[in-house]
Structure 1
């Protein structure tokens, strides 16, 4: 049976992790003006959702007015995350590094965080087959996005995540241990093993999405089987701080790094001393250059890969260029033995591989072990900007083994679509996100055996003459599929999660395996694995066994588990739906699909849940969305309901829009788009018509934070929200629609007043609704060049928001994301690098526990107020007793 048209799809909003800096590349401002930060599952969901009418499952957004261009809509989502941290200007490199140093020097509260989500997370959990889940799609156990992989012949596998650091398995995958927690950057760009068996780590995820965080350089681990990374293991000086690193390659005694600031090299024998800048196409735009402050500086020196000729390692080819296009895009070469020679652009002789700047974007190389073949994936800026089907230019082979070619095209998106792709059934083509999804590797035992990753995993065993989609997008569209396994017409084998990023081939117990990393974590299969008649692999195994937790949460909700005792914990995730963990669970399930945005959970009943998808598309359930799939035959048996406020339909809400319950009345909810919406039916709401607009924030304004207590409502907004004319404000009123007014905030964010930056959250004193705290994202003017950046991250009002006082004191200068007032009157604040606490009666801040350098986006208290829960964007959900915060 084909998939129902309303089936939710996964989303991808890329790389929101904490490290040494933020790469602010909003697609709307970048050269080329195009970008798509979500996975193709988003594209499919939004296209399919509009074909049906199940409440909030038919979101109409502003992108509907742009000929239904989903890629533009998707780009907006990533821009908005970056805007919160960069507006009103451009953030200087080094901001996160300085903040991490400041945070680690704070006194500690004591106590230790406990990981709540360190157990398997089953995206196919059969308990949750309700209308809004993705159960039975085939991805199985999942975790957060993996950016890079490495594997050896002794069964060791190394996985570098987007925001949760690097992990090691000694058993060919599974039973993972973190090995980079002591580094100031938990964002991975590249992993590579050299000929001596050392593991090299390039920090800073290099997907060039609008919200990728920068790294702190390159590190090397001499004994990767047993050791862990430390700051002392950094290679060279600070030359590669605040960059992203796409690839690390080795040749002639040197390691080469393709970074967002050009190509650099370093001796592999002498690890001290500076990195050498080999080539930067526009050096004036590098830090310290005459144009370093130019708004386009972040795009002007992006490099993607390095290919070294196996027959003559002195001959090197660089793949250079910004994914959306620039005049400098192209392939460059040089004989590195000639120290005075210049890098020259290759303008001819490549064969099918393009030389024109418009056709060279993000590129990945792969070389066969015997040196007889070079392969390449090329994403085209021209295709990205003009072709709604795909941004893929092609996959190529150089049968000479030389990176200078000649190259022959062996795949395009039409050919891959015909190879058993499941993406096409959603109306999209392979390579629709080729700028974001790329990997390529060659079987060491066979130079004609290649694995390529885009949104799906593809395999060829004959050098590209024929291809199979061995890791299809999902199982929903296959004839064997039914949400009820008893009704399947055949055997749907497990597949991988979508959106591929990393790949490695290694051996375990004498057998070769291919390992792939994607937005759902890690999977493996035998290199020469089995396929069904459609070319789909039948032998994928998920390696996300719960010992590795890199889940990227936006939110967390906690409520009493009335069935099993204890509490139920739920949260919204990047590209992995909504997780739910009952108190008796050994495996965490997923009861809603898509991106999980903000979350409401009834403290008195943890099965009363509201989950935001995107743009205020809200689903609600009152039984944890437990369902056996019977709604497929009888829609009335669905146990979740779409209840989106009207701003969802008009596109006047942010991608992850704010949602809150009144602290004194869990039946009163506040949602923010252009309007402040209130509904008073609690979890019994069944329609979006039950929301009432109590205040219009104004044309062009959208809510960034809402809170309420005892009927008093606070709403923060921005508009414009990017660094061109950024503006922010606060409105205060009552849930019944009375008393609404705008707070007068100085437009320039003068010292001591609320800065002209993104207002990210409120925390209302439960004893006094006029006593409220405000968190502010972005960086102070030391790091942000923009009007009114001001100073400070936490502000206090004792008169209902009329006046505000900066109480940041010794708080590190780092984006602050949310806050809660603890029962004893203290204040806990979530930041992009961890959690801080101010004890009652104190004016200074302490660090809570010792989380790695990971973003904490939301804090919530347990129903009894004794436990603080933290939703991290890269290391799952943690908890700590409030009594330890003292």
Structure 2
């Protein structure tokens, strides 16, 4: 979320929400009072969600660039409980199974877009998010998962993907037995292969499966997959690991995710980026696997999604996070859309182990909750976690007009203030163009004209009087048949 403030002699100031805690950044602007303009109903990319078993009003939400938020009233209001540290980008949130007040946060989103933010290590809260302690691994880059031993909360595992823009020696799986005072790396393959997922067998913390992902991003491309990628299993509490191969796809493979079935702990599901398949299953803790489905809808963009979750009571009911939220009632043999018109691009899910009907899931549009096993979803539209690509203003009008393009949540325009006592609210904002809102520029000579663009060069001239938004050429409605050199 961006904030704008105006002070005599200072002009327009735009600051990220998490900068409020950075005194060094704010020192020249310390007399400015920041206020949230919105848009209040836009939403933003969610990377991790967690709830507390049996407590339907408490949730934690991690965002791609806005820290960790907590609600204690079922989502009607939120508090930013992690607005400090070296990174506001969140990769993982985990609550200790033995004590939900013990909260672990891994920074650095692990869905490696070309605009992702590096993390700054691992943090721990002993009091349900009220205070935080830095627990190391500052150079671990992107953290995909954190797993806490259900019996001993001092034993913690961190799954580190690390910085995918360059080879790094800090990738892999880390283990602590003293609550983060020291860490031991227990699984490392090479400086281009990090950890994409980590799962512990329910009822047996000695058995764990890690997904290792060989990945490298360049400014012009993403190389996902290689001979080092694959699933690795430990049967001694994470001390040693063996690569699993029987029934699994041959190299090269890419990103993967695994999930045990709580009601049948020997059953494991794996979503793997590979040729000839999407979903595999094992009935013996991962020793032998068989292909279940090649439904590409379950993993449309593997580097961005790739996640599977299992119902706590039914080992045949699984959820697969992709562009749409997919669900299966027969172990993945057939699937259907389960998100009921929710926003696309799903990244996070948590199912109450005591009540499988209660699910919270996060995507590029924000957070959704169901209490009836996905029959209906409630959108929590009050989280200020939007990611603005760009902000522009028209200061020739009073109040001046503010416009901005938001990642996967349209372009928005609204006034800097309102004449009502309530101030600026969601009704004051409007959308000149949908999709990934990018450059949005008010015309300097006419406050009712907005030039707005979204992904792939889609550009419109929006008229606020008529709400018409005709295309502005040149724009290729289809790239088919055009030479690359001409695009």
TM-score class, shorter: 0.7 to 0.9
Residue 471 of structure 2 corresponds to: 642
The structure 1 residue matched to 2:65, chosen from 148, 163, 178, is: 163
Q: Does 1:431 pair with 2:299?
A: yes
The structure having more radius of gyration, on CA atoms, is: 1
* 1-structure distance, mates of 2:244, 2:475: 54
* Alpha-carbon shift at residue 506 of structure 1 (Å): 3.7
Q: 1:372 and 2:254 equivalent?
A: no
Pick from 325, 329, 345 the counterpart of residue 499 of structure 1: 345
1:446-482 C-alpha deviation (Å, 9 max, x unpaired): 33322221110111233334322112xxxxxxxxxxx
Q: Are 1:608 and 2:443 counterparts?
A: no
Match of 1:343 in 2: 241
Q: What is aligned with 1:558?
A: 393
Secondary structure of the residue aligned to 2:369 is: strand
Q: How does 1:572-651 map to 2 (within 5 A)?
A: 572-582=405-415, 583=418, 585-587=425-427, 588-603=429-444, 605-614=446-455, 616-623=457-464, 626=467, 639-645=468-474
- In 2: Cα distance, 1:640 partner to 1:118 partner: 20
User: Which position in structure 2 is the counterpart of 1:798?
Assistant: none
SS in 1 for 2:403: strand
Q: Indicate conservation of the 8 Å contact 2:278/2:293, yes or no.
A: yes
Residue 278 (str. 1) matches residue 180 (str. 2): no
In the alignment, the residues of structure 1 paired with residue 210 and residue 326 of structure 2 have an alpha-carbon distance, to the nearest angstrom, of: 25
How much has 1:430 moved relative to structure 2? 4.6
Question: What secondary structure sits across from 2:470 in the alignment?
Answer: strand
Superposed CA RMSD in Å reads 3.4
Is 1:120 aligned with 2:12?
no
Correspondence for 2:17: none
1:257 aligns with 2:103: no
User: In the alignment, is the contact (CA less than 8 A) between 2:198 and 2:208 conserved in 1?
Assistant: yes
1:325-379 CA distances to partner (integer Å, 9 max, x unpaired)? 222112223443696xx5332333xx3x33x222x32111222333435443423
Aligned to 1:518: 363
User: In 1, distance between residues paired with 2:180 and 2:186?
Assistant: 17
Whether the aligned pair in 2 keeps the contact of 1:504 and 1:514 (CA below 8 Å) is: yes
SS, match of residue 82 in structure 2: coil
Deviation at 1:526, TM superposition (A): 2.5
User: What is the 5 A alignment of 1:58-73?
Assistant: none
Deviations 1:286-325 (A, max 9, x none): xxxxxxxxxxxxxx13111223344643233321122522
Change (3 A) 1:523 1:589: farther
How far did 1:187 drift? 0.4
User: Aligned-pair distance for 1:550?
Assistant: 0.8
Distance change >3 Å, CA 344–CA 113, structure 1 → 2: same
- Matched ranges for 1:696-715 at <5 A: none
- CA change 1:458–1:109 in 2 (3 A) is same
Deviations 1:508-544 (A, max 9, x none): 9x894211111111112234243xxxxxxxx222111
Shift of 1:496: 0.9
Stretch of structure 1 that moved more, 160-169 or 242-251: 242-251
For 1:694, the equivalent position in structure 2 comes to none
TM-score (norm 2): 0.79
Q: Does 1:410 align with 2:292?
A: yes
Deviation sequence 1:189-227 (CA, Å, 0-9, x none): 111121111221111000123332221111122222xx3
User: What is the correspondence of 1:437-448 to structure 2 with a 5 Å cutoff?
Assistant: 437-448=305-316
Secondary structure of 1:314's partner? coil
**1:303 pairs with one of 195, 218, 235:** 195
> Partners in 1 of 2:75 and 2:197 — Cα distance?
27
Equivalent position of 2:89 in the other structure: 187
Of 276, 279, 286, 1:395 maps to 279
TM-score by length of 1: 0.45
CA distance change for structure 1 residues 611 and 501 in 2, over 3 Å: closer, same or farther?
A: same
Distance in 2 separating the partners of 1:316 and 1:512:
26
Shift of 1:112: 2.2
Hey, which of these two has a bigger chunk of strand by percent? 2
